[in-house]
Amino acid sequence: MFALFRLLALLLISLVVLIMGNSFFITFVSLRLDLAGTSSEMIGIITASFYTGMLLASFLAPSWIRRLGHLRVWILLCGVNGLLILFHALWVDAIYWLLLRFFSGIMLGGVFVVIESWFLLLCPSRQRSLTLAIYVLAYYFATAIGQLFLYGCDLFSWTPYLEAGALSVLAIVPCIIRPIPLPNYVQSQPLHFLKTLRTSFQGFFGGFISGMLLSCVYGLTPVYALKIGRSVPDVGTMMAVIVFGGLVLQLPLGKWADLWNRRKVMVVTCFFSVLFSISIALFDNIYWIQLLLLLLFGGFSFVIYPLALALACEKISDDQIIAVTGGLNVTYGAGAMAGPLLAPLFMGWLGSGGLFYFLGGISLILGLVGCDVANKRINIRKR
């Protein structure tokens, strides 16, 4: 494991710097729009536009990588993303921000295809779950730290835009000040999208559900927290706690999945996500209990994406990795686009807690699908 850390160190530092700024800015966008009087439904649409951009990037990024290579694409995406963040400061308007969030989604979606394929091509196949756990551990660590930027932050000033934009540009620095390990050049084999999906239905469906979960957590949990009477610092604490929960369980669950069975581990994480999500909605009047439940919910729900990616890449060759990571980002982006559009409907029907009933419901669906896939595999072997 320590050898993997050394191999990936510079990439991990770049990722942490980039995500600190972006995670803070995603939460800031929801808060700033809410304070400007934007409806929950419109905030959901703006959040969905960001993930629509990520979905589009999943189709575009593999060709960018084939033409320019991982390092050049990384530098380009980080720089343009920082510029787009600064453009938000010019005008606080729902339609204007919807367009900017769409293009920011393209940048960040491209980043994920680049970094995930980069990591997978550097690591041996037997350690893919562990490698992805390290990647997601760094991602969630950065996300949790990023939420703390809300403390003492003047939401009506230029400071949030400058901080997030500067961090996006600074993410380039670790990759250019020292030689960075590049993946051995592999001629990426394009795959038809439906053929890509057939490599692992549970993996790609897990990516779709993970997209719904995480887009709602990042885009609508701040709105939920304000509606139940939490202060802005409380929102930062709640977001940091839920992300920190995801950080804590990445390595043990990733290692367990490599040693035992990735499908079964995903089913277990889904059912625990259901339990804690529904509990959050039921105990929203007791702050410290809710924080504990958010920690546990984050711990299990946030591990779904790396497990889904490891499942999707379980039986493929290196020349298909870029295509499959791009395909998984397509399903993730589709889920991330759908989640913020559907969740506000549940919030309208069931109150603010409807957000977590919705998250519990989709986690249950994924868990049941995983059970069905496992049963079919067992029946096939018996025959």
What are 110-160's pLDDT values in tens digits?
A: 998 888 888 877 776 666 667 777 787 888 788 878 878 877 778 888 999
In a domain, 5, yes or no: no
Average pLDDT of span 231-248: 84
pLDDT of residue 358: 95
- The residue that leads in pLDDT, 289 or 51, is 289
In a domain, 4, yes or no: no
In a domain, 29, yes or no: yes
Structural domain range at position 18: 10-177+187-378
Contact 293, 276 (CB under 8 A): yes
- Judged by DSSP in three states, 66 sits in helix
Q: Looking at the 3D structure of the chain, how many domains does it have?
A: 1
pLDDT of residue 129: 66
In a domain, 163, yes or no: yes
Residue 277: CATH number of its domain: 1.20.1250.20
Average pLDDT of span 308-316: 74
Contact 146, 20 (CB under 8 A): yes
Helix count (H) and strand count (E) of the chain? 15, 0
The interaxial angle of helices 201-227 and 232-259, nearest 10 deg, is 160
Contact 219, 30 (CB under 8 A): yes
* Res 379 pLDDT > 50: no
In a domain, 3, yes or no: no
- The residue that leads in pLDDT, 364 or 153, is 364
Average pLDDT of span 34-41: 85
In a domain, 159, yes or no: yes
* Res 191 pLDDT > 60: no
Cα distance between residue 209 and residue 305, in whole Å: 9
Average pLDDT of span 38-53: 86
Question: Which of 276-280, 333-337, 372-376 is predicted least confidently?
Answer: 372-376
In a domain, 383, yes or no: no
Contact 346, 190 (CB under 8 A): no
CB atoms within 10 A of CB 83: 14
pLDDT of residue 187: 52
In a domain, 182, yes or no: no
Q: 273 falls in which pLDDT band (50, 70, 90)?
A: very high
Average pLDDT of span 207-219: 89
pLDDT of residue 89: 93
